[in-house]
Structure 1
Amino acid sequence: MSEGTMQRRVQRDDDQRPQRAGRAKRRGRALVGVTAVPVMLIAAGCSSDSGSGDDAKQSSESAASASASPSPTVRAAVYDTLPEPCGMLAKKTLEDLVPKGTKGREGTSDDTATRANCSWSSLDNNGVKGSQFRWLNVSLLRFDSDVTRGAGDERAKEYYDKQVQDAQAVADAENTEAEPVSGTGDEATLVRYDLKKKEGSFKQQTVVTRIENVVITLDYNGAGLAGDKTPDADDLAKAATKAAKEAVGAVTETKGAADGDAAADGASSSAPSSASPSAEKG
């Protein structure tokens, strides 16, 4: 091979070396790119799995929290019934308050275990010497406990306050006074006032009492008619508060009766059968 020929081959090799190097470099970048694709897919897959796990964990924790949360509750009402309204005051008490009208008249109610009342009226007619009039009314209202509306005693307290306010806001009332009454239920208030009518001057006494979830409103008034003397307001107030305490006692007795019935039912259900299984088989 001549020297000229050798120089041309060397030159071609030198010319082709950069091209081969470029192709090798591009193949390397292509391989690197191909290698990166699975890595990215693996990373994306890990990220997706991690998010799903967090969501599942949060959902599980929320469900556990919801199941662990207690249902709303409210304390039970103490009284679940009312006494018979016309039989809650003793005969002697009625003779003192309404001497000529001891037979009561029960009001209408679609649920006597929740709402009840009885009224008595008395007219002691002395002809030309005048007459003494007395009127007595006892109303009872019982409140049940309710999750949305509250405990029975709290609802009764709201009604009690309203009854006291209403008694002090009677139209045309004069000399209105209000004072607490001790030893009568959980709380009691006496509201007294004068009310003039065409028949005469009436002395009104209203005793509002709350015992747990029951409110008792006792209205008692008296008047001297046809020229007879007006009764003493203090005497009427004393008689009204005495009757209110008696009404509270009648309410508390319903709880004792209910407890006694529950105890009797429990004893009856736990009593052994009179005949044993073996005796029945025999």
Structure 2
Amino acid sequence: MHRPVQRVGRAPRLTRILVSAAAVPVMLVAAGCSSDSGSGDDAKKSAGSSPDAKASASASANAVKPAAYAKLPEPCSVLSKKTLGELVPKGAKSGNEGKSDDVEARGNCYWSSLDNNGVQGSQYRWLNVALLRFDSDSRGEGDQLAHKYFEKQVKGAQSVTGAKSTKSQPVSGTGDEATAVSYDLKKKEGSFKQQTIVARVENVVITLDYNGAGLAGEKTPNAADLLKDAEKAAKEAVAAVSAANQDRGATSTSPSKSASPSKSASKSASPSKKS
């Protein structure tokens, strides 16, 4: 069965150069006389230009805002039974969670459904939801890192080998930003209608893949209907991410303006693909 390919990326170093102050010649006004006038000011200037003080100031300037979300929901629980019954009617209870070495940073779950009508053919559906969370670190804020990954995922969905009639469009009301990519893919089993929705909510990126096909002579499913169902599921997944962080006191719930995976998210979990 067709399962779409999952697309799952140092900041410039700052070099500090401390320049010592040039020595200023001292003019003696009168022999045998000396003065400590201004020594207090000089001490303050010296303290203010010390390496430790400069490092502290630099650290404050380079501080990044903490990521809004600290955890992910369980991947197989992001969609309601009702939604699963609509998208994968014969496989709503067959959720398979992918392996993850850090469940708070990445995870995925997939379902497959085969409505076998005997000699009249069968309707096949496959659904996958992948979650990837980004922490704020030395490379930037979590939502900015997530935005970059969001863009990478969209481009990946738009350039699948063998895809025909590829179309992209924004999806409203789904996180801070979301894009739907639709295309047709011909396989030996039949003609598949693929819908991929990539959504970002704060520092989390959700990639939802949903495809369907009519097998053994069964009618090919309507792409518009599949897209509508996929958009509904993506909205639920976004809501599940927010809900999972309510008890952890998310630092922000306002939409981010913009978004490479964090160190903890560089190894994204994804299901194995079969042609």
TM-score (norm 1): 0.71
- Letter in structure 2 aligned against 1:98: V
Evaluate the alpha carbon distance shift between residue 226 and residue 258 of structure 1 in structure 2; reply closer, same or farther with a 3 A threshold. same
Tell me the distance in 2 between the aligned counterparts of 1:176 and 1:94.
26
- Letter in structure 2 aligned against 1:185: G
Q: Does 1:106 align with 2:93?
A: no
* Gap runs ≥5 in structure 2: 1-27, 251-275
- Letter in structure 2 aligned against 1:76: P
Q: What residue is the counterpart of 1:13 in the other structure?
A: none
Q: What residue is the counterpart of 1:200 in the other structure?
A: 190
Instruction: Give the C-alpha shift of residue 257 in structure 1.
Output: 2.3
Q: What residue is the counterpart of 1:122 in the other structure?
A: 113
Instruction: Give the C-alpha shift of residue 58 in structure 1.
Output: 5.2
Instruction: Give the C-alpha shift of residue 258 in structure 1.
Output: 1.8
After superposition, the C-alpha distances for 1:26-60 in whole angstroms (9 at most, x for unaligned) are: xxxxxxxxxxxxxx9x87997xx99x999867533
Per chain length, whose mean CA-contact separation is higher, i.e. which structure has more relative contact order (CA < 8 Å, sep 6+)?
2
Tell me the distance in 2 between the aligned counterparts of 1:65 and 1:43.
38
RMSD across aligned positions (CA) = 2.7
Percent identity of the aligned residues?
63
Q: What secondary structure is seen at the aligned counterpart in 2 of 1:171?
A: coil
| More helix, by proportion | 1
Evaluate the alpha carbon distance shift between residue 199 and residue 150 of structure 1 in structure 2; reply closer, same or farther with a 3 A threshold. same
Tell me the distance in 2 between the aligned counterparts of 1:67 and 1:149.
18
Q: What residue is the counterpart of 1:216 in the other structure?
A: 206
Flag the structure with larger Rg.
Answer: 1
Tell me the distance in 2 between the aligned counterparts of 1:89 and 1:165.
25
After superposition, the C-alpha distances for 1:248-269 in whole angstroms (9 at most, x for unaligned) are: 1101101212239xxxxxxxxx
Q: What residue is the counterpart of 2:66 in the other structure?
A: 76
Evaluate the alpha carbon distance shift between residue 171 and residue 59 of structure 1 in structure 2; reply closer, same or farther with a 3 A threshold. same
Tell me the distance in 1 between the aligned counterparts of 2:84 and 2:55.
58
Instruction: Give the C-alpha shift of residue 140 in structure 1.
Output: 0.2
- Residues 72 and 245, structure 2, Cα contact 8 Å, conserved in 1: no
Aligned length: 219
Q: What residue is the counterpart of 2:54 in the other structure?
A: 66
Tell me the distance in 1 between the aligned counterparts of 2:105 and 2:189.
35
Q: What secondary structure is seen at the aligned counterpart in 1 of 2:209?
A: strand
TM-score (norm 2): 0.73
Q: What secondary structure is seen at the aligned counterpart in 1 of 2:46?
A: helix
Tell me the distance in 1 between the aligned counterparts of 2:115 and 2:106.
31
Tell me the distance in 2 between the aligned counterparts of 1:96 and 1:43.
99
Tell me the distance in 2 between the aligned counterparts of 1:122 and 1:181.
25
- Residues 110 and 128, structure 2, Cα contact 8 Å, conserved in 1: yes
Q: What residue is the counterpart of 1:266 in the other structure?
A: none
Map 1:113-152; keep pairs closer than 5 Å: 113-146=104-137, 148-152=138-142
Q: What residue is the counterpart of 1:165 in the other structure?
A: 155
Tell me the distance in 1 between the aligned counterparts of 2:32 and 2:187.
93
Q: What secondary structure is seen at the aligned counterpart in 1 of 2:229?
A: helix
After superposition, the C-alpha distances for 1:214-249 in whole angstroms (9 at most, x for unaligned) are: 000000000000011000000000000000000011
After superposition, the C-alpha distances for 1:101-127 in whole angstroms (9 at most, x for unaligned) are: 112000000001000000000011111
Tell me the distance in 2 between the aligned counterparts of 1:243 and 1:137.
10
- Letter in structure 1 aligned against 2:154: V
Evaluate the alpha carbon distance shift between residue 45 and residue 226 of structure 1 in structure 2; reply closer, same or farther with a 3 A threshold. farther
Q: What residue is the counterpart of 2:4 in the other structure?
A: none
- Letter in structure 2 aligned against 1:126: N
After superposition, the C-alpha distances for 1:78-110 in whole angstroms (9 at most, x for unaligned) are: 100000110111001001000111120000000
Q: Which runs of 4+ in 1 moved over 4 A?
A: 42-46, 52-58
Evaluate the alpha carbon distance shift between residue 57 and residue 188 of structure 1 in structure 2; reply closer, same or farther with a 3 A threshold. closer
- Letter in structure 2 aligned against 1:66: K
